[in-house]
């Protein structure tokens, strides 16, 4: 039985946000907020970007870039795995044919 989304309190750059979230997704949401908060504080402390809006956009862009890199790596790993499984399958078929 599905439960109703519950409000989760998140603090990012000293501001509190209440977000409705499914109970089983709350831990991931909190970790994501902590990661965003850390990224934004790092940018603010480095002094390279000023203004909370600009910091938020740059942090979001950095995180989106990391996500895109991970997706690309995941796709490559998936292709490599599929190729390896196809070769393994072919070897198994060859062995079985020889025994027939």
Q: H-type helices in 18-51, by residue range?
A: 26-46
Say if CB 13 and CB 41 are below 8 A apart: yes
Which CATH number characterizes residue 92's domain?
Answer: 3.30.160.880
Residue 19 domain-assigned (yes or no): yes
Domain that holds residue 89: 6-99
Residue 78 domain-assigned (yes or no): yes
Tens-digit pLDDT profile for residues 13-47: 999 999 999 999 999 999 999 999 999 999 999 98
User: For residue 55, what pLDDT is reported?
Assistant: 94
pLDDT score of 76 more than 70:
yes
According to DSSP, the residues that pair with 17 across neighbouring strands are 10
Task: Work out how many domains the chain is built from and give that number.
Answer: 1
User: For residue 20, what pLDDT is reported?
Assistant: 95
Residue 1 domain-assigned (yes or no): no
């Amino acid at each position: 039985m599905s439960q109703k989304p519950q409000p989760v309190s998140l603090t990012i750059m000293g501001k509190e946000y209440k977000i409705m979230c499914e109970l089983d997704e709350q831990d991931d949401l909190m970790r994501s907020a902590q990661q965003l908060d850390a990224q934004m504080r790092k940018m603010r402390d480095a002094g390279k970007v000023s203004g909370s809006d600009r910091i938020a956009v740059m942090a979001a862009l950095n995180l989106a870039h990391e996500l895109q890199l991970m997706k690309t790596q995941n796709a490559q790993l998936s292709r490599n795995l599929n190729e390896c499984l196809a070769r393994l399958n072919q070897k198994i078929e060859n062995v079985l044919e020889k025994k027939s």
